[in-house]
Amino acid sequence: MTRILLVDDDPAITRTVAIGLRAHGYHLRTATDGRTAVDLGRTDQPDLLILDLGLPDISGVEVLRQLRTWSHVPVIVLSARDGSDDKVEALDVGADDYVTKPFGMDELLARVRAAVRRSGANQAPETVESPAFRVDLAAKQVWRDADEVRLTPTEWGLLQALVTRPGRLVSQRQLLHEVWGPAYNAETNYLRVHMANLRRKLEPDPSRPRYFITEPGMGYRFVN
């Protein structure tokens, strides 16, 4: 059952959307403020977030910013703000879709189905192959030719975070949060040391990386 977190401080909208979603078989939790939304996003790990921008404590955009430091959950924004600047800001921060109030329940349900489909289609594959190595994500094994490469848990965490996002820049902060935890924000020296070890084990020429590229001051990128 798809788990949805609905974040809106309008009781009428919450009641209407909740009835519609539950009637179509979705499991729903609700929050009426941004801080609760962030907490539930972390603890419940929903499959989809429906998020109002105008919340009473922190804005929906700030919820998105915090969420995107550690989660890729699809987010549909609900808002009475129909200006293009608001939409662009929400989409740039990490929203996947934007629905302007007032909206029809049929439209929202269609957008929910589309977001869930996209999320399923974009799930990481079980294996990632390059000319130099093969990663079995399900078994947590890495192979070079016929030889298994032994990685530390930290090296594996970095590898998984990068190869499941091929071609995408993964920020230093995001890597620190995913591999070491949310309390780590500025320990970029950790990344340098462990990325050097990972390259030594997997790159044909670690001094000239082909697959694990540094974007100075920003993060790292896996290029296959």
pLDDT digits 0-9 by tens, 27-40: 999 999 999 999 99
User: Which pLDDT belongs to residue 72?
Assistant: 84
Residues 55-73 as b/e (b if ≥16 CB within 10 A, e otherwise) read: beeebbbbbbebbbebbeb
Does residue 17 share a domain with residue 69? yes
Neighbours of 188 (CB within 10 A): 15
CATH of the domain at 207: 1.10.10.10
3-state secondary structure of 142: strand
| CATH code for position 30 | 3.40.50.2300
Q: Is the pTM of this model over 0.85?
A: no
Q: How confident is the model at residue 124 (pLDDT cuts 50, 70, 90)?
A: low
**Higher pLDDT among residues 69 and 6, named by residue:** 6
* Residues spanned by the domain of 57: 3-121
Do residues 97 and 11 share a domain? yes
Residues 209 and 155 in one domain: yes
Q: Which of 83, 102, 121 is the last residue of a domain?
A: 121
Handedness of CA 137, 219, 212, 202 (dihedral sign): negative
- Contact 25/81 with Cβ under 8 angstroms? no
Contact between 13 and 101 under an 8 Å Cβ cutoff? The reply is yes
How far apart are alpha carbons 127 and 116 in whole angstroms?
22
Q: Which two tokens stand for residue 30?
A: 């609700």
